[in-house]
């Protein structure tokens, strides 16, 4: 654990009145909260109030979405950045004692800001400093704190072993806490399943401020935190994960085709092929717009983005047999190590230093995201309708992620993440834009596309991925939903697992202390 000088944060001391930011109730809340922290902790806790010089920097450090960074966006009364597990315990105890809503943030890849926005007095507990990664090659496991990024996990595995990996996200700046809490997937999901499927132990601060592990938290809570979404059950401090074997050589490719190059036929064929490929082969499709090479007009482009856990020769043979229409050639492919593939898929130089995986810098953009699951292929006429809507914008992105393989072998109820057998692929919709003034137009556009997709996607419920938080499908005010209100979005995210999640929530947090606008409700509190 690194050491910190007092100049880098506000030291909690008994003379807490110095943190008063205004007259009246807000001053009283801060005073009482800070006094409680000083009483609960034997060591200094980093705290930032709106009067702190670094408050804005800390608040915005991991917020990606500029749509949620407007001057009118509600801000926290204070931000706690724990250095020790005991600091998290103190934060929970003092938030509860002072009736402050608590928001837990591990990385900031939070599409609709539920970990850092509220319209009631709230505290952010930012786990950025709790990010150690301890790899045990002999047991093929690692303990990872929730504030670590996926890139930090990959890096620490790679420096210990060239033949171990972890099936987590493509994007390396994702925070581990949120990623595992919602399931977490990447290019090895067809080979090994989700990141959360590899969790074999965890440490969590419960509503009473106690630290529990797998044995002391019990089977139900351990089940719930591995895919039930962050912010409902407690603060997960760290996770013990099972690492997975990777071959010394993997093969990657990016092959782009425009409409003029047969993209419609290729995407249509991909829907039948990708799900049924050997589990070692992951081919996703990234759809966007580009200029046509023929007439320089805007066109739709489909990029087939691939990781194969094997050699180039075997990949070429497999593609020739199963997907010859793509016309894959030797020079389209590159062999490399698994850790280099994590660089490649992020657009980093594959022969560059691995330390780039430790870079926590995140691009800030205006965006909105949504998700869907498909159980049957979209007909060509349906794809052509998608193309028309994509061509209305300059920066649209659709990502088709194939399922099948290991995902079809795991029961829907094994974890709260239910989207398993029968799903051909998942769609992520992304709208990007420049400037706040474009927001309403872009939100209208992505909602239009989402409505258009209704006939083609899953139904009753229309399934969605909890890590792509989408308040369009339903939300409550400050996490006060009843069972039936919560089922509006809970059914989309968790299907039949929603009922068990409510039972766990009612048992471990009956007064609904841990909550957000899409959290699991407690029946006892309804």
Active-site amino acid positions: 468
Strand partners, 256: 303
Containing 222, the helix (H) or strand (E) segment is: helix 219-225
Tokens representing 248?
A: 């010394």
Neighbour order of strands in the sheet with 298-308:
333-336, 250-258, 298-308, 281-291, 396-402, 425-433, 366-374
Q: Which of 435, 418, 439, 397 is nearest to 490 (CA)?
A: 418
Which residues have C-beta within 8 Å of that of residue 35, sequence separation ≥ 6?
14, 16
SS3 state of residue 290: strand
What distance in Å separates the CA atoms of residue 514 and residue 521, rounded to the nearest whole number? 10
DSSP track, 151-211: HHHHHHHHTT-TTEE----SSTT-BHHHHHHT----TTHHHH--SGGGEEEEEEE-TTS-E
Which residues have C-beta within 8 Å of that of residue 514, sequence separation ≥ 6?
102, 207, 231, 232, 233, 234, 235
What distance in Å separates the CA atoms of residue 446 and residue 501, rounded to the nearest whole number? 30
Q: Is 146 exposed, middle or buried (0-12, 13-18, 19+ CB in 10 A)?
A: buried
């Amino acid at each position: 654990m690194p050491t910190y000088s007092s100049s880098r944060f506000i030291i909690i001391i008994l003379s807490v009145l110095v943190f008063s930011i205004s007259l009246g109730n807000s001053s009283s809340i801060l005073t009482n909260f800070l006094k409680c922290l000083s009483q609960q902790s034997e060591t200094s806790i980093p705290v930032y109030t709106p009067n702190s010089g670094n408050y804005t920097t800390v608040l915005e450090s991991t917020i990606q979405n500029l749509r949620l960074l407007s001057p009118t966006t509600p801000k926290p009364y204070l931000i706690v950045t724990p250095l020790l597990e005991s600091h998290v315990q103190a934060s929970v105890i003092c938030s509860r004692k002072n009736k402050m809503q608590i928001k837990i943030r591990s990385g900031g890849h939070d599409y609709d800001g539920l970990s850092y926005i509220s319209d009631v007095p709230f505290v952010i507990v930012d786990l950025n400093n709790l990010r150690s990664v301890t790899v045990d090659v002999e047991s093929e496991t690692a303990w990872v704190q929730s504030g670590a990024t996926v890139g930090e996990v990959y890096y620490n595995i790679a420096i210990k072993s060239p033949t171990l990996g972890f099936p987590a996200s493509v994007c390396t700046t994702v925070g581990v806490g949120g990623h595992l809490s919602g399931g977490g997937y990447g290019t090895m999901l067809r080979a090994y399943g989700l990141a959360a499927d590899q969790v074999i132990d965890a440490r969590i601060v419960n509503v009473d401020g106690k630290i529990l592990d797998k044995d002391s938290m019990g089977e139900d809570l351990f089940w719930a935190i591995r895919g039930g979404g962050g912010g409902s059950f407690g603060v997960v401090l760290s996770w013990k994960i099972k690492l997975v074997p990777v071959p010394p050589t993997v093969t990657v490719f990016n092959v782009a085709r425009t409409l003029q190059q047969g993209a419609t036929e290729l995407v249509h064929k991909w829907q039948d092929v990708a799900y049924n490929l050997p589990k070692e082969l992951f081919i996703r499709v990234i759809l966007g717009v580009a200029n046509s090479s023929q007439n320089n007009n805007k066109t739709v482009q489909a990029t087939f983005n691939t990781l194969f856990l094997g050699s180039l020769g075997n990949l070429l043979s497999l593609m020739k047999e199963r997907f010859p229409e793509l016309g894959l050639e030797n020079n389209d492919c590159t062999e490399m190590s698994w850790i280099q593939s994590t660089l490649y898929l992020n657009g980093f130089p594959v022969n560059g230093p691995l330390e780039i995986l430790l870079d926590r810098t995140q691009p800030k953009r205006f965006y909105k995201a949504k998700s869907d699951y498909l159980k049957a292929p979209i007909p060509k006429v349906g794809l052509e309708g998608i193309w028309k809507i994509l061509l209305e914008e300059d920066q649209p992105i659709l990502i088709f992620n194939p399922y099948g393989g290991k995902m079809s072998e795991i029961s829907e109820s094994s974890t709260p993440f239910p989207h398993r057998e029968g799903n051909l692929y998942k769609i992520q919709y992304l709208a990007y834009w420049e400037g706040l003034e474009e927001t309403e137009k872009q939100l209208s556009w992505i909602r239009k596309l989402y409505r258009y997709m209704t006939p083609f996607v899953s139904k009753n419920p229309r399934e969605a991925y909890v890590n792509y938080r989408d308040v369009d499908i339903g939300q409550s005010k400050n996490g006060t939903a009843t069972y039936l209100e919560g089922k509006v979005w809970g059914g989309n995210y968790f299907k039949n697992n929603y009922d068990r999640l409510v039972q766990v929530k009612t048992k471990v947090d009956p007064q609904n202390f841990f909550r957000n606008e899409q959290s699991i409700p407690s029946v006892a509190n309804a």
